[in-house]
Amino acid sequence: MDGGRSVTDTLEPLLTSGLGTPLPIRFEFWDGTAIGPADAPGAVAIRSPRAIRWMLWQPNELGLARAFVSGDLELDGDPVASLRELRERVRVRPGRLARVRAFANLWAVAARLDAIGPPPPVPEEEARLGGRRHTHGRDASAIEHHYDVGNDFYRLVLGPEMTYSCARFETPESTLDEAQRAKHDLICRKLGLGSAGGQRFLDVGCGWGTLVIHAALEYDAVGVGITLSPSQCNYARQRVRALGLEGRVEIRLQDYRDLAGETFDAIASVGMFEHVGAERMAGYFTTLSQLLTPQGRLLNHAISKPGGRAMVRRGFMNRYVFPDGHLLDVAQVVQAMERCGIEVRDVESLREHYAETLAAWLDNLAGNWDEANALVGETRARVWRLYMAASQNAFAAGALSLHQVLGVRADIQGNSGMPRTRAAWEHRSAPALGGEPQLASAADGSF
């Protein structure tokens, strides 16, 4: 290191030029020195000169992500608070000349810290998919990358409901499991399930089967759930067998594009649409529309982004979390559904609910950190910690949202069969059929 200067002395000008003064959070370095407010709720710990080298070879979000995933950079304390403070300071993207100057300064600092060297090996957890986007094979690989991490790991994070989508917290005191069941009830009521016995219900991207099982137990539906994840499929089938629902619920390892020759009274797409891609959106809704019976309803529950945006190719989320993911503006979704013969009847935002859901998942991960590391390794557990903390921030700040878009395929005379008001799904009018305790037991692994 140059002239015996501390790491703080060397890095302070670079940090203050990028984040301003006073610094929003505390920075701690591998030589034991630190800078920034001691009472900050969180801190960035740069544990090795290799963190600087990551940024030299990838001076963007991906470089920072690789440093974090590898353990060379850490978010100590409250990661959500740290990311929120940093986001406020770097909200405005600097111009090209400013970025070139910052990169030159980074190289100068790296030289003084003896941090220059070859690129570190890329973490194995980073996805690099081959072939053309959104083909059957590549979509299956993208899904397996994220969802086949391990059912035991997901149970730690998601809880016994095993539901990997935004919950609906009806009161401040609602638990995560209660909020997930409330979300499932809301979806079933919006779809009109339970109004007649034996309605055929399709759950596209069914995950571990919780929604389609809930619809069968609580709303007398005959359900089909499809997924591209082998581990999800096997787990969901075990749950169905454990509950004695083989004649009422079918779980398939199937692509939505291979659905043909069937009809359904109701279709839910929950946490699936983000994987479809803008170029496949029209085909997606056309396929689902053709599967609906006259007066059949479709509910699309998906993350949305104002203006829409594909996952950045060299971004953290695309490389580590949701390869080939694409977040669309809810207006694009409404327009696409209408163009495909689905009349949109209701749009509801659950944005704040998703921030609460992610907070609960983060708490579960933190409370089971050692077990999570044992199941999937520290590197992958760190991926999840960063992804959920960043996502919680994005939903809380309004950078991301979650919309449920409800549509119907009217019959040839234009009859929709829709209720006059939202009261039909605001509150459940009939008592539960008593299946929920069984579902929780099966989810806890009793089969």
Assigned domain for 120 exists = no
Treating both helix axes as pointing N-terminal to C-terminal, what angle do 378-397 and 351-367 enclose, rounded to 10 degrees?
A: 150
The answer on 429 and 397 residing in a single domain is yes
Listed range (107-116, 250-259, 333-342) with the worst mean pLDDT: 107-116
The answer on 328 and 204 residing in a single domain is yes
pLDDT band at 443 (very low <50, low <70, confident <90, very high): very low
Mean of pLDDT values over 417-445: 59
Q: Which of 333, 316, 329, 191 is nearest to 265 (CA)?
A: 191
228: exposed, middle or buried (Cβ count in 10 Å: 0-12, 13-18, 19+): buried
Q: Which of 70, 114, 116, 131 is nearest to 62 (CA)?
A: 70
Phi first, then psi: give them for residue 200, nearest 5 degrees.
-85, 125
16-47 confidence digits (pLDDT tens):
888 888 888 999 999 999 999 988 888 999 99
The answer on 180 and 66 residing in a single domain is no
Residues 95, 102 contacting (CB under 8 angstroms): no
Residues 208, 237 contacting (CB under 8 angstroms): no
User: Residue 88 belongs to a domain with what CATH number?
Assistant: 3.30.1050
Assigned domain for 118 exists = no
Q: Can you give the pLDDT at residue 93?
A: 62
Range of the domain at 57: 2-112
Assigned domain for 105 exists = yes
215-256 confidence digits (pLDDT tens):
999 999 999 999 988 999 999 999 999 999 999 999 999 999
The answer on 423 and 312 residing in a single domain is yes
pLDDT band at 428 (very low <50, low <70, confident <90, very high): low
Say how far apart CA 312 and CA 315 lie, in whole Å.
5
The answer on 67 and 9 residing in a single domain is yes
Say how far apart CA 188 and CA 199 lie, in whole Å.
11
Q: Can you give the pLDDT at residue 94?
A: 63
Run of H or E residues at 240:
helix 230-242
The answer on 194 and 56 residing in a single domain is no
Mean of pLDDT values over 297-318: 83
Mean of pLDDT values over 114-130: 85
Q: Can you give the pLDDT at residue 9?
A: 92
Listed range (100-104, 119-123, 163-167, 229-233) with the worst mean pLDDT: 100-104
**Better pLDDT: 388 or 431:** 388
Last residue of a domain, one of 47, 79, 112: 112
Q: Can you give the pLDDT at residue 431?
A: 37
Per-residue CA distances from 205 to 212, 254, 262, 373 (Å): 10, 9, 17, 27
Assigned domain for 372 exists = yes
The answer on 63 and 203 residing in a single domain is no
Assigned domain for 126 exists = no
Q: Enter the tokens of residue 100.
A: 């070139």
Q: Can you give the pLDDT at residue 286?
A: 96
pLDDT over 90 for what percent of the chain? Answer: 62
Per-residue CA distances from 8 to 12, 43, 65, 67 (Å): 6, 14, 22, 19
Assigned domain for 308 exists = yes
78-105 confidence digits (pLDDT tens):
899 888 888 887 765 666 677 778 778 8
Phi first, then psi: give them for residue 227, nearest 5 degrees.
-150, 160
2: exposed, middle or buried (Cβ count in 10 Å: 0-12, 13-18, 19+): exposed
Per-residue CA distances from 65 to 54, 70, 74 (Å): 9, 8, 10
Place of tokens 């008593």: 434
Q: How many domains does the chain have?
A: 2
392-409 confidence digits (pLDDT tens):
999 999 999 999 999 999
pLDDT band at 308 (very low <50, low <70, confident <90, very high): confident
The answer on 146 and 103 residing in a single domain is no
Per-residue CA distances from 256 to 224, 318, 326, 388 (Å): 12, 22, 17, 27
Other CB atoms within 10 A of residue 243 CB: 20
Structure letter (DSSP) for residue 320: I
The answer on 170 and 108 residing in a single domain is no
Whether the per-residue pLDDT at 337 is higher than 70: the answer is yes
Assigned domain for 143 exists = yes
pLDDT band at 447 (very low <50, low <70, confident <90, very high): very low
Residues 295, 416 contacting (CB under 8 angstroms): yes
The answer on 403 and 315 residing in a single domain is yes
pLDDT band at 442 (very low <50, low <70, confident <90, very high): very low
Residues 225, 256 contacting (CB under 8 angstroms): no
User: Residue 372 belongs to a domain with what CATH number?
Assistant: 3.40.50.150
Kindly list the strands in the beta sheet with 42-46, ordered across the sheet, starting from the edge strand earlier in the chain.
Answer: 34-35, 26-29, 42-46, 73-77
Assigned domain for 140 exists = yes
Contacts of 392-396 with C-beta under 8 Å, sequence gap 24+, read 392/80, 392/355, 392/358, 392/359, 392/362, 393/80, 393/83, 393/84, 393/87, 395/351, 395/352, 395/354, 395/355, 395/358, 396/84, 396/352, 396/355
pLDDT band at 123 (very low <50, low <70, confident <90, very high): confident
| pTM reported for the whole predicted model | 0.88
The answer on 176 and 311 residing in a single domain is yes
The answer on 293 and 232 residing in a single domain is yes
